[in-house]
Amino acid sequence: MAKYFDVHPDNPQPRTISQVADSVRSGALIAYPTDSCYALGCQLGNRDGLERIKTIRQLNDRHHFTLVCQNFAQLGQFVHIDNDVFRAIKASTPGSYTFILPATKEVPRQLLHAKKKTVGVRIPDHVVTQALLAELGEPLLSSTLLLPDEEEPMTQGWEIKDLLDHVLDAVVDSGDCGTEPTTVIDFSNGEAEIVRKGAGDVSRFE
What's 112's domain CATH number? 3.90.870.10
Half-sphere exposure of 183 (CA within 13 A, CB side): 22
Higher pLDDT, 30 or 154: 30
In sequence order, the β-bridge partners of residue 79 are 103
pLDDT of 155 above 80: yes
- 201 pLDDT higher than 90: yes
- Measured CA to CA, the distance from residue 173 to residue 159 in angstroms comes to 10
Are residues 43 and 24 in contact, defined by beta-carbon separation less than 8 angstroms? yes
Taking the mean position of all CA atoms in its chain, how far away is CA 94? Answer: 13
pTM of the model: 0.95
**Domain range holding 169?**
3-205
pLDDT at 33: 96
Segment 1-21, tens digit of pLDDT: 999 999 999 999 999 999 999
pLDDT at 87: 92
How confident is residue 62, by pLDDT bands cut at 50, 70 and 90? confident
Q: Is the pLDDT of residue 124 over 90?
A: yes
Q: Which helix (H) or strand (E) holds 131?
A: helix 127-136
pLDDT digits (tens, 9 = 90+) for 91-113: 999 999 999 999 999 999 888 88
Number of domains in the chain: 1
Closest listed residue to residue 111, CA positions, set 87, 133, 139? 139
**How large is the C-alpha radius of gyration of the chain?**
16
